[in-house]
């Protein structure tokens, strides 16, 4: 569950099944009381129809927390990290970074750093499409050391320079769930 729309779907499905909840946040639902296995199966089945999945594995839950922390950092915050990504995740999730990195790679088949970079580039694409900021402003907003640094990473990920991407008539972006 990585977006507001997903939260709405989860709330709706919980209500349809008759489950009371305290809160539904991105990536988790705090349900009141105990839930039977049968009810969990019903919930999982109804969520799958909407393209969502009920997570019960501790590994998957931790990986989802990493995903949510990175997405929040890239897509919802404008301030620059005061610490490196590994320290940020270690403090945010309260686990050793080496363990988190190994677990993430095992489950997602990519590194945390590559995942983070891909999300940064998707955010840059979004800002280019909005056409409200020039490349220097985007570079500053996304905390790149220079426009050249941003351009190099953008080209490495997309195969295009930011300027070439901006010129495309049909600019493709990945959904956040697919990054």
Using a cut of 0.85, tell me whether the model's pTM lies above it. no
- 3-state DSSP percent of the chain in helix, strand and coil, to 5: 65, 5, 30
Which domains, from first to last, does the chain contain? Answer: 4-49 (no CATH), 58-179 (1.10.10.60)
Q: Which pLDDT belongs to residue 172?
A: 63
Round the average pLDDT of the chain to a whole number and report it.
87
In this predicted structure, the answer to whether residue 20 has a pLDDT above a threshold of 80 is yes
Greatest alpha-carbon span in the chain: 55
Q: Which pLDDT belongs to residue 66?
A: 95
Lowest mean pLDDT segment, chosen from 3-17, 87-101, 127-141, 160-174: 160-174
In this predicted structure, the answer to whether residue 2 has a pLDDT above a threshold of 70 is no
């Amino acid at each position: 569950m990585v977006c507001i729309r997903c939260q709405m779907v989860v709330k709706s499905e919980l209500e349809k099944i008759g489950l009371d909840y305290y809160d539904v946040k991105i990536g988790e639902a705090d349900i009141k009381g105990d839930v039977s296995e049968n009810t969990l199966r019903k919930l999982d089945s109804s969520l799958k129809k909407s393209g969502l999945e009920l997570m019960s594995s501790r590994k998957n839950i931790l990986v989802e927390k990493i995903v949510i922390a990175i997405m929040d950092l890239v897509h919802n915050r404008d301030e620059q990290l005061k610490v490196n990504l590994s320290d940020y995740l270690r403090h945010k999730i309260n686990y050793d970074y080496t363990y988190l990195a190994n677990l993430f790679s095992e489950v997602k088949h990519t590194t945390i750093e590559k995942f983070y970079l891909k999300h940064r580039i998707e955010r840059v694409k979004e800002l280019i499409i909005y056409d409200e900021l020039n490349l220097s402003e985007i570079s500053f907003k996304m905390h790149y050391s220079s426009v050249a640094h941003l351009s190099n990473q953008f080209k490495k990920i997309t195969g295009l320079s930011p300027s070439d991407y901006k010129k495309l008539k049909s600019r493709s972006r990945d959904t956040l769930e697919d990054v």
